[in-house]
Amino acid sequence: MIYVIMGKSATGKDTVFRQLMKKEELGLNKIVPYTTRPQRFGETEGEDYHFVDEEEMKRLDKAGLIAEHREYNTVKGVWHYFTVDDNPDVCNNELSFMMIGTVEAFLSLRKYFGNDMVIPIYIYVNDYERLIRSINRERKQDKPNYEEVCRRYIADEQDFSSENLNAAGIDARYRYNNSDLKLCINNIVKDLLGNRDDNISQ
C-alpha cells in the first residue's frame, strides 16, 4: 500500500509526513522522491528528495524505472519531479509506504501500481495562512525568489481545483491550520487504522 500526502504549497505536508512516519502503529516505510531542482536551505539529500541532474533522470527513464513524472516551467527553468520504482518491497501487500506528491502524481502512481495500491491523503489549509507560510519559508533561502512563490500559488489553484480533486476520487480532506496539527494527525491515524469515530476533517 502506498499513501500519497497531497496539498497545495505550504500546507505543511512535510510536517504531517514526519509526524505520521513516527507513528509505530502505522508501520510506514518512506518513499523518497527525486527532483532536478536545486536543493533548498534545510533540505537533506536522501531525506527530502534525491537531488539529481537531467542526465541521471534520463538514465532512470531509459531503464523503465520512473513510475511517475512531472515537470514545471519555473522562473529558474524547467524542474522535474518524479518517483522511481527502485524498491521491490513496494508491491508487498504486508507493507505500507508513504510519500508526498500531487494529484497528477497520485493518478500516475495509481496507473502504474494499480488503484487498490495507492491511497490519497489530502491536507487543507486556508489560502491566507498558506501564503504567509510560503513567504516566510522563502525568506530563509539564500536568494529568496518571491516570483516563484506567486507562480506556485497560482498554479496550485488549478492543480488542486475541486474539479480535479473530485475527478481523482479524493474526498476526505484533513484540515491543518497552525493550531490543530495534533487533531489533523489523529484523524489521519484513525482513518488509516480504520477505527475513526467521526468525520470532522471534511
Residue range 146-157: mean pLDDT, rounded: 87
Count of CA atoms in the C-beta half-sphere (13 A) of 17: 23
Residue 3, sorted as left (phi over 0), alpha (psi -120 to 50) or beta, turns out to be: beta
Q: What does the pLDDT average to over 92-114?
A: 92
Do 20 and 28 touch, CB atoms closer than 8 A? yes
pLDDT exceeds cutoff 80 at 178? no
Rounded average pLDDT over 168-185: 86
C-alpha–C-alpha distance, residues 65 and 26, integer Å = 27
pLDDT of 198 strictly over 60 = no
**Strands lying side by side in the sheet with 66-74:** 50-51, 34-35, 77-84, 66-74
| Alpha carbon distance 178, 129 (integer Å) | 8
CB distance 68 to 83 below 8 Å: yes
* Bridge partners (DSSP) listed for residue 103: none
The pLDDT tens digits for 81-92 are 999 999 889 888
CA gap 86, 63 in Å, rounded: 11
